[in-house]
Chains A and B, each alone.
Chain A
Amino acid sequence: MPGAPPQTHEEAQREFAETLSGFTAGDNPEYADYSRCIHCGLCLNACPTYRLWHNEADSPRGRIRQMALIDQGRMELGEGFVTHIDRCMDCRACETACPSGVEYGKLVERARAQIEKNYKRPRASRAIRNFVYRRLLVAPKRIARMARIVRFYQRSGLETIARGSGLLRLMGLQQRAALLPRIDREFFYSRLGRTFPAQGERRARVAFFAGCVAQVTFTALNDATIRVLQANGCEVVVPAEQSCCGALAAHAGVRDVARGLARENMEIFLREPFDAIITNAAGCGSTLKEYTDLFADDAGAGGTQTVRERERSAGLAAEFVPKMKDVTEFLVELGLSAPLREMKLRVTYQDSCHLLHGQKIREAPRKLIRAVPGVEFAEMPLADQCCGSAGVYNVTETKTSMELLAEKMRHAASTKASVIVTANPGCILQLRAGAKLHATNQEVLHVVELLDRATVHNS
């Protein structure tokens, strides 16, 4: 201990920060945030990984404690910490359960930023992470090129051969292969820069956020979203040059890349006055609505941006965030005006974590499903538990993800619904794989895809 014990809180805090912390300044979990955790434990049973393993280290309370211990110099930022933080799905169910208002998502993203800065992962892991977060996701051209290769594999018969030959099983890849999205025949890129007119009286003018990977695998969903918005009186602009939202990078702790993408998006979407900016991806929406945090006081300190740049970006974020809406949230606020035809279906809904826990939106998607005449809505048990998709989690932690998926499909099947509706492309891929692997014979749709089928479009 250097010198006399600290006299005031401020001195003590400074001493913590300067001499003890295992974190470095900038994008670090902060005392003000982690100390809100009063370790009451109410989050434990809401956490998917704690429910699986029942180990405190893999619970929200335990993960926050590890951050506190590192910040206070009692634990080192080493392999153990990295393992437990990597295993977190960042589903944020703990935030919904937490009575003290701990912003866990913010904490874990910052913990990951610290790992990114201060921990040396094995060479192969580093190479893959660098490629995905720093090169692939930021460049639509690279995504398109990759997509064409995968499409060739899927449609040339190679995939059938790989499956039939047992090669995938031999390589232990059959589960991951089931998660591989079906690449679209036509990509969404051709819609960039276009404006889609409102049907009937124009009630709103909105910008559509198209996503990155979604543009090569969810063209149909994006088209359906635009159609539903049009049918309900929205003029939909799809700004060209828009970028990936940065969610995957931010979740992985690659915050400089996320910040770069955020800056590009804010410039483009704020160029014209829109009533709202719409996304159909809950995961993207959650990050887009949290752009302010990427430019908070301490963000990127000692690194990639000057104070002036940060302040300017923080200003833009303050303007951008209030406009950002999930499509379900926006449609409920606007009110459906397009007529809906009857659909005799039994439907259940799987909460997308980043809609429910990230954006605190629970009722909007359920209201939209119930709005369709003839639909019988059946709530599934534990609908608020993650399906195991969790961004890239199903690829990085496949075994855990598949365990969660198996439980999810059991609950989904118990509702006897023929359609599982959800609100995020990642969840759709995961649940579709689940329906196939567990042969539940259920169709998986996004809320707006269900609405699109029910909407009477006048064309």
Chain B
Amino acid sequence: MVFERLNYSSTNMDRHLLSELERFLGKDAVLSRPEDLLLYEYDGSVEIARPQCIVFPRAAGDVVRIVGLANRYKTPIVGRGAGTGLSGGALAREGGIIVSFARMNQILEIDAENQRAVVQPGVVNSDLNAAAASAGLHFAPDPSSQKACTIGGNVSENAGGPHTLAYGVTTNHILGLEMVMPTGELVRIGGKAVDAPGYDLCGLFVGSEGTLALVTEITVRLTRLPEAVKTLLAIYDRVDGATETVVEITGRGITPAACEMLDGWTLRAVEAWVHAGFPLDSAAVLLIEVDGLREAVEQHAKEISEVCKTHGAREVRVARDAAERDLLWKGRKNAFGAVGRLSPTYYVQDGVIPRTKLPQTLKEIDRIGKENGFEIGNIFHAGDGNLHPIILFDARDPKQFERAVSTADAIIRFCIEMGGAITGEHGVGMEKDRLMPLLFTEADLALMRRVRDAFNPAGLLNPGKIFPTGKGCGEVRIRPMPQRGEGNSAPATGRDFA
């Protein structure tokens, strides 16, 4: 069968389509006024792209009908949770309908005995955790945006978080999905059993960034809250000491629940906001958490402290109670935002390297930064080698922005040289599609395209994501300043600086 890929270029949504959407969803569940569209052209990333309408389904049946109409009118569909993503995954790059799952936010079932829950995609990650906590359970993936991001978004992006090191990413915690396919069929994959018979389709759909199906219900695995938790803060006068510690801890076969590094520069930004007691004069800190059975936790904490000291930690603090622990984590989880206090615009990268290459990679990042005239902050999930270098720049200066992007690219290229990858947890979206050829061969990409085309042949779902668009690798979409009177007629995509 040969499918022709759709070409979406019109900026105005078909009136008939709008009125049909309004008819079955209700007027308050369809947004199409220009000023509403402008509020769905951004997410947590630096990308922008404007949709033509936004709809708010309440149930899977609504989604089926939306997909049916989109097919009939040949209009693309993009799913969206809270819009906290960092790679433009929830943006309508080629226009069309944004399906906001925010109103499908019911926790349908918490089955404590069997450690699972069934939720709608719009449930907020921390709301699910709050509901599970009374049963001594939690949903382990804990992205830093967990206070706002949705489980549906976590599934689409295969979200990670600080505790990924021990608990794995989202895909390790998804048992089953109910989805609406681009053809409008409602299907279920996986189930409540740990290993469903047949193909492991959950593994395929989790992390597919909204390009294969729209998820309408999720069965998640809940994990028992650990019996004991210890959080250590190791303080270093040398960055190298911190990175070497990480290599050795994991080398010794200890798997902490989390192992995060913040460099001195980032620490100072964070401390100004949370007052967690991060030392302002240090070069770097490691935030290490161990959890599990009481005895093992004690033992590991002791061993980790020793390793830290061996590598020159001038002090290792242990959080005395839950309140102190929460404060340390609050600092870490809000670090990106806290950097916003230093500069309204910054570019967070999301590279991965083997953790054994941490020391040399950090030195290289520092060198690349200096060469391009940027101070680069480093904050990352050190335990699994997931880097988040933060490049501060001034959005009002197009040249500086161009340089920031090329600096970030240089870092990513180095990550790949080190045997790493272009994204650890933020997704490819429309931010990194152009970098995909650096990591994959034409044949690799062709295989992935075939998977997409098997489910989403016409490119109805989230077009323009993941795969390079063919406009040339290295092309940068720059739009430094909004222009006068630029309302709905402006080019619909670009980089965002508002």
Decide if A166 is an interface residue (CB 8 Å cutoff). no
Closest to A101 in B: B341
Q: Judge whether A45 and B148 touch: CB under 8 Å.
A: yes
Give complex CA distance A42, B130 in Å: 17
Q: Judge whether B147 and A45 touch: CB under 8 Å.
A: yes
CB distance from B100 to the nearest CB of A (A): 7
Q: Judge whether A54 and B102 touch: CB under 8 Å.
A: yes
Q: A35-B344, A65-B498, A66-B35 are in contact. Are A42 and B145 (CB under 8 A)?
A: yes
Q: A42-B147, A42-B334, A99-B337 are in contact. Are A12 and B481 (CB under 8 A)?
A: yes
What is the size, in residues, of chain B's interface with A at 8 Å between Cβ atoms? Answer: 52
Decide if B439 is an interface residue (CB 8 Å cutoff). no
Give complex CA distance A228, B242 in Å: 53
Q: Judge whether B147 and A56 touch: CB under 8 Å.
A: no
Q: Judge whether A1 and B483 touch: CB under 8 Å.
A: yes
> What 0/1 readout, one digit per residue, does chain B (464-485) give for beta carbons within 8 Å of chain A?
0000000000000000011111
Within 8 A of A (CB), among B297-338: 334-338
Q: Judge whether B340 and A38 touch: CB under 8 Å.
A: yes
Q: Judge whether B481 and A54 touch: CB under 8 Å.
A: no
Q: Judge whether A45 and B498 touch: CB under 8 Å.
A: no
Decide if A72 is an interface residue (CB 8 Å cutoff). yes
What is the size, in residues, of chain A's interface with B at 8 Å between Cβ atoms? Answer: 42
Give complex CA distance A66, B56 in Å: 21
Closest to A69 in B: B38
* One of A1, A56, A73 near B83 (C-beta < 8 A): A56
Decide if A100 is an interface residue (CB 8 Å cutoff). yes
Q: Judge whether A65 and B39 touch: CB under 8 Å.
A: yes
Q: A72-B482, A73-B485 are in contact. Are A38 and B334 (CB under 8 A)?
A: no
Q: A35-B344, A69-B38 are in contact. Are A101 and B273 (CB under 8 A)?
A: yes
* One of B147, B484, B486 near A97 (C-beta < 8 A): B147
Decide if B412 is an interface residue (CB 8 Å cutoff). no
* One of A13, A36, A66, A100 near B39 (C-beta < 8 A): A66
Within 8 A of A (CB), among B33-84: 33, 35-36, 38-40, 42-44, 56, 82-84
Q: A38-B340, A40-B145, A69-B38 are in contact. Are A9 and B397 (CB under 8 A)?
A: yes
Residues of A within 8 A of B36 (CB): 56-57, 80
Give complex CA distance A42, B144 in Å: 9
Q: Judge whether A73 and B341 touch: CB under 8 Å.
A: no
Residues of B within 8 A of A46 (CB): 147-148
Decide if A143 is an interface residue (CB 8 Å cutoff). no
Decide if B119 is an interface residue (CB 8 Å cutoff). no
Decide if B491 is an interface residue (CB 8 Å cutoff). no
CB distance from A332 to the nearest CB of B (A): 18
Given contacts A9-B397, A54-B122, 15 further A-B contacts (CB under 8 A): A9-B394, A19-B484, A37-B344, A38-B337, A38-B340, A38-B344, A40-B145, A42-B84, A44-B148, A45-B147, A74-B38, A75-B35, A97-B147, A99-B336, A100-B338
8 cross-chain pairs, A with B, having the tightest CB-CB distances, nearest first: A99-B337, A100-B340, A99-B334, A54-B102, A41-B84, A35-B344, A56-B39, A38-B340
